[in-house]
A and B are shown apart, each in its own frame.
Chain A
């Protein structure tokens, strides 16, 4: 089988070039990380529509707000440790409160910066962004879905937080798959347990599904790339079918995907929800793969959680 590995940053840069060639309202802002995040490709092609503000994330968000108020569509990008990390207030008061069309696309989310260590890893960014009213929160799983979701966001108004990964990922989707903000994608149907994952954990969930089927457990696998607004319809439908949910995310389980799913099922159709994610701790230096194992973000952990739920019935 041909496994295609791809880079979300490259996909993002490609999306910007494509979209930017058609919509001249698109402008891109960077904060001294644009070579690393590849927005420098947009800067090379459209120097007039690219603004490098230096290492000044809060200023970048404020400038993006002004550009949006004057009719532009700003894409704002740096490492997720610093946007949102450095500028929660500017995101809240300058972008979300006035409901501006600003797309924040941050890369190097989760533990993917590996050896850089905890200061540059993010466990809390998604939870923080989810808690801000009006903010859309999207965590794509591969390159094709990054392109599709960013393109679709242009048709929707309001603020967006996209969290991309630095790690190269195995492609899940093809360029023609329908992937839309707000609609979860069912990647595999199943009847015993529902596994809902986001970002780099979608591949791990698919692997868990394969391991489980060898043991006679039929898992339904859902890519919930959009954490907000959550696709509660798809999730509730699956909950009714399987009666048990495991969530998998590369971030703190406090306020992330597992929380969002729990909030939904608790109110409408309570089923047990088991969360695979980071347990209220900072990361540390190490290779990304090593960290995923150390912090329990593996197919094996998803399998363990699934079997526990299925077995306890």
Chain B
């Protein structure tokens, strides 16, 4: 029943728009992290345009759901999503990374809608736990979402947090791992193997779900299952492709932190709009 109501058409359109925003932003900035931004588009779209309770006009609303971008280098996807949601003008996206802009290289409290200044990897899940604990203390029913990178699984703090979240029975917390298979120096399974990833989270007493991170319906269903789970935090391992949507970026570790030039992006964006 509920599935019928998912406005997939609208969500798909948002995803295309956010992808083009990301490409234009990093090209204009001449730096930034397109790869891990493009892989997370459908995840953020599912959250901000469907699942999360939030109001762009009231970024400090105490009852809002929280989204922590722990892999803060994916700031372009967060900023584009916030702008497309109405937190600030879309035209401001082109100031990314420039002197005196609110849009810093990594999330920063100058931007309405940013809940945590991710940038140093490994910290975000801990902060999300703090927010989820506070919700329980205050008997508030807001939910907390944290998006982590798969390279970020290397940080010990991620696993310290994993232990704590199940100890505190944080069923109001959902972690999402962007399983795009690539970190900065290369493939995760070569730099620091993290498989079997689902079993690791299971061993830490989490409710584990695996989805195709580009299938909006699967992502949303998993977010819903997480919400219905009692007494345990949920992790959604979202299988994605780094650089998704741009053939020459997909699976190329070089595009972790390299901006394509403006001419290339102009052609790409025209192509994406036609599709």
A residues sitting closer than 8 Å to B (CB atoms) are 30, 32-36, 40, 52-56, 58-59, 81-82, 85-86, 113, 115-120, 284-287, 290-291, 294
B154 touches A56 (CB 8 A): yes
- A81-B120, A82-B120, A286-B98 known; A55+B155 contact, CB < 8 A: yes
A-B CB pair tally, cutoff 8 Å? 96
Q: In chain B, what residue has the closest Cβ to A284?
A: B104
Q: In chain B, what residue has the closest Cβ to A79?
A: B120
Of B103, B118, B119, B151, the residue contacting A55 (CB under 8 A) is B151
A34 touches B120 (CB 8 A): no
Assembly CA distance A76 to B120 (angstroms): 18
19 A–B contacts, CB within 8 A, in A order: A53-B192, A54-B183, A54-B191, A55-B155, A115-B31, A115-B98, A116-B119, A117-B97, A117-B119, A118-B106, A119-B72, A119-B106, A119-B117, A119-B120, A120-B106, A285-B101, A285-B103, A286-B100, A291-B99
B105 touches A120 (CB 8 A): yes
Assembly CA distance A32 to B106 (angstroms): 18
6 additional contacts (CB under 8 A) given A32-B185, A52-B191: A55-B122, A55-B152, A85-B120, A119-B119, A120-B106, A285-B99
Q: In chain A, what residue has the closest Cβ to B120?
A: A119
How many interface residues does chain B have, given as a range? 20 to 34
Q: In chain A, what residue has the closest Cβ to B184?
A: A32
A33 touches B184 (CB 8 A): yes
A32 touches B154 (CB 8 A): yes
B184 touches A35 (CB 8 A): yes
When distances are taken between beta carbons in the complex, the residues of chain B under 8 Å from A115 are 29, 31-32, 97-98, 105
A86 touches B185 (CB 8 A): no
Interface positions, chain B 97-149, Cβ under 8 Å from A, are 97-101, 103-106, 108, 117-122
Q: In chain B, what residue has the closest Cβ to A119?
A: B119
Assembly CA distance A56 to B152 (angstroms): 9
Q: In chain B, what residue has the closest Cβ to A283?
A: B104
B99 touches A55 (CB 8 A): no
Q: In chain B, what residue has the closest Cβ to A55?
A: B154
Assembly CA distance A115 to B257 (angstroms): 12
Of A32, A118, A294, the residue contacting B183 (CB under 8 A) is A32
When distances are taken between beta carbons in the complex, the residues of chain B under 8 Å from A82 are 120
CB distance from A87 to the nearest CB of B (A): 10
CB distance from A121 to the nearest CB of B (A): 9
Assembly CA distance A260 to B10 (angstroms): 60
When distances are taken between beta carbons in the complex, the residues of chain A under 8 Å from B108 are 117-118
- Is the C-beta of B156 less than 8 angstroms from some C-beta in chain A? yes
What are the 5 tightest A-B residue pairs by CB atom distance, in nearest-first order?
A119-B119, A54-B192, A286-B99, A54-B154, A117-B105
When distances are taken between beta carbons in the complex, the residues of chain A under 8 Å from B118 are 119
Interface 0/1 of B64-78, CB less than 8 Å to A: 000000001000000
Q: In chain B, what residue has the closest Cβ to A116?
A: B105
When distances are taken between beta carbons in the complex, the residues of chain B under 8 Å from A291 are 99
CB distance from A28 to the nearest CB of B (A): 13
